[in-house]
């Protein structure tokens, strides 16, 4: 499953104009973050948070999910949240829309893009969606039609794309086959979900190369978790492979039911910091992004794992007599 | 200070034989980690920990520091710890040896390499060593002579090489000048200290290129902190620039007095995981490395920030009915 060349030794390919430095940060905290929290966040507070996200300069937001409210009560207010948001002209709101029923619920909201969802492994898909992958894909045409009828863009996500906690490594060919099925539905924006933090520099590079070779017309988005500490390292590899859209959660919200105590999604403000300090343009204001993480922390009443929200930007200087120094 | 090309867009240079996949992980937890802890760890426990580090496959260890015991009481037992360690034939023990007095104390111990130390910024150096950089460098010949007389290799470190919490960005030329002064003393192993977590993909790349151009005969070691979450991303950039030695702390110990609550050094077992999953050979056993982090956690009686110690290796699979699944 891993490449034969060690990461860092091979020259990266460039997928597009090297002069274009724009990278899009997609905030998914109110969806992937809040769905795993035991706290039920009031609808009005969610709207406040999304408005603060917009004010920070983030333009694309995966706000919520139209899954069954019984399955995920944390997101039962999907429609109300979407309707309450103060959109700017360039704001683009997304949500998971896993089936026709969900598309029906989403149809009359201000949703811009609806994400179809399937898992890359049979076991995870059956556990998550209660059917096999082929049946899941077969059901998607109707969901896509319903979304398009409501003038909502059809997008898609592939969960456990970098490895499954039940099955282990997932063959790249399996992910390519699913992406091709999505592409056949007219989808050109596919999110690769590192659902339980099994992405590594090697398989990020390997899978992206396999996908780009098979489906050069599709834009692949990375949805990385930091479960094993390598989330932002994987971002650098994604950038080298031409990825220009990354999902992230304010404060590093999110998690993995298989790794209690492990961290969740890559952290929005840490990602913004990394990108800005690496010469990329995100349009996001770092201080305001930290402010969103602070709001999340206050809302949930617990300390989040974001680093930049603790340490601050790097050029916030200190008075000489403020503290003792470190040795190395 | 930042490069004009965004990181990820430019093809990395290769500094050595691309077929050589070996990378050395240097454990610095009992030095850079313990010096900032309020807990005084008993000497016998430190020895047990270093022995466990050796058993994990780590060959190079910065065990302690011969700074004044009054300044850093946590490391007052430097000689006793070094004498108690069960060295293997390939074990290499290092310590900070900042002055002649320290070299006198180190002379009769089993120390293999002594690290000289200076800060890259005047303000940090004056605060840390109570003199200016030129005076610090001038005093080092005597320390180096004393070490060599005791058959201890002379190595060196540069603190705040990627930015100073008082002065901000440090010019690359300033770091190059210090490295040149070290090289003039015959030093060919220089550690670049990211003391307060100000290293970024851009300045890691930029500083390494400046140093390699000026001093191609010197091996540069990266000592990175994860204060702002980008420590392992910086490792990938270091690898691309030819660095093959990295300092790290078990469990992510260490810290920065300027960022209370921020994480410390990059975490040894997370680094080992990253390297192994990227096709590099470290010689370190990941499970045993996690074991060392657990020992540190038990010793200090508090939860450490390492990720892989919580989540486990990525192919440790789960039973299908063990837990509910995640959505994305």
Q: What is the DSSP string of A130-169?
A: SS-HHHHHHTHHHHHHHHHHTT-EEEEEEETTT-BTTTBS
Which positions of A are annotated as active-site residues? 256
More confident of the two residues A228 and B318: A228
Instruction: Tell me which chain B residues have a C-beta less than 8 angstroms from the C-beta of A4.
Output: 279
Dmax (CA) for chain B in angstroms is 66
Alpha-carbon B252 to chain mean position: 11
Calpha distance A109→A42 (Å, rounded):
19
Inter-chain touch A327–B6, beta carbons under 8 Å: no
Nearest-10 Cα torsion for B47, B49, B52, B57:
-100
Averaged pLDDT, B200-223: 98
Evaluate whether A53 touches A25 at the Cβ level (below 8 Å): no
Alpha-carbon A287 to chain mean position: 21
Q: What is the pLDDT of residue A315?
A: 84
Among B120, B224, B222, B226, CA closest to B167: B120
Residue A14 touches chain B, beta carbons under 8 Å: yes
Which residue among A198, A260, A328 sits closest to B195, beta carbon to beta carbon? A328
pLDDT per position in chain A (328 positions), as tens? Answer: 333 445 544 333 334 566 789 999 999 999 999 998 988 999 999 999 999 999 999 999 999 999 999 989 999 999 999 999 999 999 999 999 999 999 999 999 999 999 999 999 999 999 888 899 999 999 999 999 999 999 999 999 999 999 999 999 999 999 999 999 999 999 999 999 999 999 999 999 999 999 999 999 999 999 999 999 999 999 999 999 999 999 999 999 998 766 666 789 999 999 999 999 999 999 999 999 999 999 999 999 999 999 999 998 888 777 776 555 545 5
Suggest the residue from B264, B281, B311 to mutate for an interface test with chain A (most A CBs closer than 10 A): B311
Calpha distance B60→B248 (Å, rounded):
11
Residue B95 touches chain A, beta carbons under 8 Å: no
Calpha distance A117→A137 (Å, rounded):
9
DSSP string covering B78-97 = HHHHHHH----TT-EEEEE-
Evaluate whether B199 touches B228 at the Cβ level (below 8 Å): no
The alpha-carbon gap from A273 to the nearest alpha carbon of chain B, in Å, equals 8
Instruction: Tell me which chain B residues have a C-beta less than 8 angstroms from the C-beta of A323.
Output: 257-258
Averaged pLDDT, B31-55: 95
Suggest the residue from A229, A281, A306 to mutate for an interface test with chain B (most B CBs closer than 10 A): A229
Calpha distance B46→B296 (Å, rounded):
9
Q: With a CB-CB cutoff of 8 Å, which residues 171-190 of chain B face chain A?
A: none
Q: Is B256 a catalytic residue?
A: yes
Q: With 90 as the cut, is the pLDDT of residue B193 above it?
A: yes
Q: With a CB-CB cutoff of 8 Å, which residues 36-65 of chain A face chain B?
A: 36, 65
Residue A149 touches chain B, beta carbons under 8 Å: no
The alpha-carbon gap from B308 to the nearest alpha carbon of chain A, in Å, equals 5
Inter-chain touch A273–B230, beta carbons under 8 Å: yes
Evaluate whether A291 touches A52 at the Cβ level (below 8 Å): yes
Which residue among A163, A193, A326 sits closest to B36, beta carbon to beta carbon? A326
Instruction: Tell me which chain A residues have a C-beta less than 8 angstroms from the C-beta of B191.
Output: 328
Q: What is the pLDDT of residue A128?
A: 84
Calpha distance B196→B200 (Å, rounded):
12
**Global pTM?**
0.91
DSSP helix/strand/coil, A282? coil
- Ordered by start, the domain boundaries in chain B are 24-255+262-311
Q: b/e map of B146-173 (b: 16 or more CB within 10 Å)?
A: bbeeeebbbbbbbbbbbbbbbbebbebe
Q: b/e map of B95-116 (b: 16 or more CB within 10 Å)?
A: bbbbbbebbebbbebebbbbbb
Query: Of B164, B249, B256, B267, which is the active-site residue?
Result: B256
From residue B47, alpha-carbon distances to B81, B85, B90, B103 in Å are 6, 6, 17, 21
Residue A127 touches chain B, beta carbons under 8 Å: yes
Q: With 70 as the cut, is the pLDDT of residue B64 above it?
A: yes
Q: With 70 as the cut, is the pLDDT of residue B312 above it?
A: yes
Residue A311 touches chain B, beta carbons under 8 Å: yes
Evaluate whether B184 touches B217 at the Cβ level (below 8 Å): no
Calpha distance A250→A34 (Å, rounded):
11
Inter-chain touch A239–B280, beta carbons under 8 Å: no
Residue A32 touches chain B, beta carbons under 8 Å: yes
Task: Supply the mean pLDDT for chain B.
Answer: 91
Pairing relationship of beta strands A245-248 and A219-223 according to DSSP bridges: parallel
From residue A8, alpha-carbon distances to A93, A153, B315, B317 in Å are 36, 37, 23, 28
Instruction: Tell me which chain A residues have a C-beta less than 8 angstroms from the C-beta of B131.
Output: none
Q: With 50 as the cut, is the pLDDT of residue B287 above it?
A: yes
Residue B27 touches chain A, beta carbons under 8 Å: no
The topology under which CATH files domain A24-306 is TIM Barrel (3.20.20)
The alpha-carbon gap from A150 to the nearest alpha carbon of chain B, in Å, equals 24
Superfamily of domain B24-255+262-311: Aldolase class I (3.20.20.70)
Residue A70 touches chain B, beta carbons under 8 Å: no
Residue B324 touches chain A, beta carbons under 8 Å: yes
Instruction: Tell me which chain A residues have a C-beta less than 8 angstroms from the C-beta of B195.
Output: 326-328
Nearest CA in chain B to A243: B8
Evaluate whether B93 touches B82 at the Cβ level (below 8 Å): yes
> How many beta carbons lie within 10 A of that of residue A94, not counting itself?
28
Phi, psi angles (nearest 5°) of residue A248: -160, 160
Evaluate whether B188 touches B218 at the Cβ level (below 8 Å): yes
Q: With 70 as the cut, is the pLDDT of residue B13 above it?
A: no
Percentage of chain B surpassing pLDDT 90? 82
Is this complex scored with an ipTM above 0.95? no
């Amino acid at each position: 499953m891993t490449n034969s060349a060690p990461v860092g030794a091979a020259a990266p390919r460039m997928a597009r104009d090297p002069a274009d430095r724009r990278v899009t940060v997609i905030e998914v905290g109110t969806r992937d973050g809040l769905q795993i929290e035991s706290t039920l966040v009031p609808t009005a507070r969610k709207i406040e948070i999304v408005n603060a996200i917009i004010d920070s300069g983030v333009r694309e937001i995966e706000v919520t999910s139209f899954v069954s409210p019984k399955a995920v009560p944390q997101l039962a207010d999907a429609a109300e949240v979407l309707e309450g948001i103060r959109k700017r002209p360039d704001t683009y709101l997304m949500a998971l829309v896993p089936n026709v029923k969900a598309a029906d619920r989403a149809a009359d909201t201000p949703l811009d893009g609806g994400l179809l969802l399937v898992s890359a492994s049979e076991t995870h898909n059956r556990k998550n969606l209660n059917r096999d992958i082929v049946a899941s894909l077969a059901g998607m045409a109707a969901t896509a039609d319903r979304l398009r009828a409501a003038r909502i863009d059809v997008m898609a996500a592939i969960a456990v794309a970098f490895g499954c906690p039940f099955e282990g490594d997932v063959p790249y060919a399996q992910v390519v086959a699913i992406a091709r099925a999505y592409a056949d539905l007219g989808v050109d924006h596919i999110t690769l979900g590192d659902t339980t933090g099994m992405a590594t520099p090697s398989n990020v590079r390997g899978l992206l190369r396999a996908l780009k070779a098979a489906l050069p017309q599709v834009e692949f988005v990375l949805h990385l978790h930091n479960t094993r500490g390598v989330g932002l390292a994987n971002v650098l590899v994604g950038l080298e492979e031409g990825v220009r859209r990354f999902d992230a959660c304010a404060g590093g919200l999110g998690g993995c039911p298989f790794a209690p105590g492990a961290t969740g999604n890559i952290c929005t403000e840490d990602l913004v910091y990394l990108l800005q300090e690496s010469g990329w343009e995100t349009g996001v204001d770092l201080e305001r992004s930290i402010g969103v993480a602070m709001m999340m922390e206050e809302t949930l009443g617990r300390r989040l794992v974001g680093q930049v929200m603790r340490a601050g930007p790097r050029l916030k200087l200190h008075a000489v007599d403020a503290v003792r120094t470190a040795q190395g």
